[in-house]
Structure 1
Amino acid sequence: MMHPDTKVEKVYLYPKPVDFRKSIDGLAVLVELDIKVVVFHPVLFVFLYKSRNRVKIL
């Protein structure tokens, strides 16, 4: 969980649809392997469900 006073530097939109059964760890692996950004940087990662009617944010 982010602290309320944390400044978000960037927001990344993951380009491929994601299986929402993935846990936070599975999404973090996608970020590190595909986007090549460390998940502990002050950024947000937005994932879309395949029908694009749901969103998950890491």
Structure 2
Amino acid sequence: MEYRLRPHPQMPRIYLYQDPVDFRKSFRGLAAIVEQELGHNPFEGALYAFTNRRRDKIKLLYWGNYSPLR
């Protein structure tokens, strides 16, 4: 069986950051990379993917406008 990532159809953009990232970074550190190195606003709804040095793991950063209490 083959599995694929199917993002929400209204997700406008998906970016893969090409340089390896220290996976000890929290979402704040990843958001800083998005802002400072890519020049993007991490709160605009795009999905950002980061890999570690060995390229065997992935971390995703996505800011969604939803409330879990609804």
TM-score interval (norm. to shorter): 0.7 to 0.9
Q: Would you say 1:20 and 2:17 are equivalent positions?
A: no
C-alpha distance in structure 1 between counterparts of 2:33 and 2:60, whole Å = 13
Q: Would you say 1:8 and 2:8 are equivalent positions?
A: no
Normalising by the residue count of structure 2, what TM-score does the alignment of the two structures yield? 0.72
RMSD of equivalent CA atoms: 1.4
Q: Tell whether the 8 Å contact from 1:6 to 1:42 is kept in structure 2 after alignment.
A: no
Q: Would you say 1:34 and 2:40 are equivalent positions?
A: no
Q: Would you say 1:53 and 2:52 are equivalent positions?
A: no
Q: Deviations over 1:17-56 (max 9, x none)?
A: 0000000000000000011110011210000010000000
List runs of 5+ in structure 2 lacking aligned partners. Answer: 1-7, 62-70
Q: Percent identity?
A: 39
Kindly provide the amino acid, as one letter, of the partner of residue 38 in structure 2: I
Normalising by the residue count of structure 1, what TM-score does the alignment of the two structures yield? 0.86
List runs of 5+ in structure 1 lacking aligned partners. Answer: none
